[in-house]
Chains A and B, each alone.
Chain A
Amino acid sequence: DGGITQSPKYLFRKEGQNVTLSCEQNLNHDAMYWYRQDPGQGLRLIYYSQIVNDFQKGDIAEGYSVSREKKESFPLTVTSAQKNPTAFYLCASSIGVLRNTGELFFGEGSRLTVL
């Protein structure tokens, strides 16, 4: 079945450590996204990529980095510069530019806890 796979589902990190969250899709979608979800704040866009080897900052990119070396993969690194990294992270994809195709498909999320 086609879909989006995020790993790990749960991750614990000590302060000062970088961590990388994996996101893989087999939907053949061009565009991929990372969102952060905190209680009562909805979803906030961290980074997005519309094609391989290209990505753009979203609303809260500080302290995060991404790469898009393959169409299927869009890993997110939470760096030690991120001041409050404990959150639920969601990866999503869409066929192309949102206004033309509309729908986001989501992975099941990764919960990061900083100890």
Chain B
Amino acid sequence: AQSVTQPDIHITVSEGASLELRCNYSYGATPYLFWYVQSPGQGLQLLLKYFSGDTLVQGIKGFEAEFKRSQSSFNLRKPSVHWSDAAEYFCAVAGNQFYFGTGTSLTVIP
């Protein structure tokens, strides 16, 4: 069965520090993987996606993610976090429908 696991419910980082949000997926075929971001009371915005090819993908707002098939992971990274990055982050895999993780809430300390 397809599924996505985001092990960290909540993460707090200081502004300027690096960030890594974890995502593990379960999918039988080659996965299409996504990271979305959601500000409070808003819809979801696509940060980046992986379909095939280079396993390191670049997204908007300075985010990147690396696909590791051997670890079934698609972790999101940012070298230097800004206060405006505080939001909820969702990892997803696309099969016959989208399967979302439960999200990671990011707090940024000034």
Binding site for B on A (CB under 8 A): 4, 6, 33, 40-43, 45, 48, 58, 88, 90, 92, 98-99, 102-109, 111
B102 at the A/B interface (Cβ < 8 Å)? yes
Q: Report which of B44, B90, B95 forms a contact with A99, defined as CB distance below 8 A.
A: B95
Most interface-central of B36, B43, B44, B92 (chain A CB within 10 A): B43
Give Cα A84–Cα B34 distance, bound, in whole angstroms: 29
Given contacts A42-B100, A103-B46, A107-B43, 18 further A-B contacts (CB under 8 A): A4-B43, A42-B90, A42-B101, A42-B103, A45-B97, A90-B44, A92-B44, A98-B94, A99-B96, A102-B32, A102-B49, A103-B49, A104-B34, A104-B44, A106-B43, A108-B41, A109-B41, A111-B41
Nearest-CB distance from B40 to chain A (Å)?
A: 10
Tally of B interface residues using CB under 8 Å: 23
Give CA–CA (A106, B38) in the complex, Å. 10
Shortest beta-carbon distance from B18 to chain A in Å: 25
Q: What residues of chain A lie closer than 8 Å to B51, measured between beta carbons?
A: 102
Most chain A CB within a 10 A radius of its CB, from B44, B46, B102 = B44
Within B29-82, which residues are at the interface with A (CB < 8 Å)? 32, 34, 36, 41-46, 49, 51
- Expressed in whole angstroms, the minimum distance between the Cβ of B43 and any Cβ of chain A is 4
Is there contact, CB below 8 Å, between A109 and B9? no
Interface residues of B (CB under 8 A from A): 9, 32, 34, 36, 41-46, 49, 51, 90, 92, 94-98, 100-103
**Contact status B9-A98, CB under 8 Å:** no
CA distance A46 to B80 in the complex (A): 37
**A33 and B100 alpha carbons, distance in the complex (Å):** 14
**Chain A hits for B41, CB < 8 A:** 88, 108-109, 111
Report Cα–Cα, A109/B42, bound state, in Å. Answer: 6
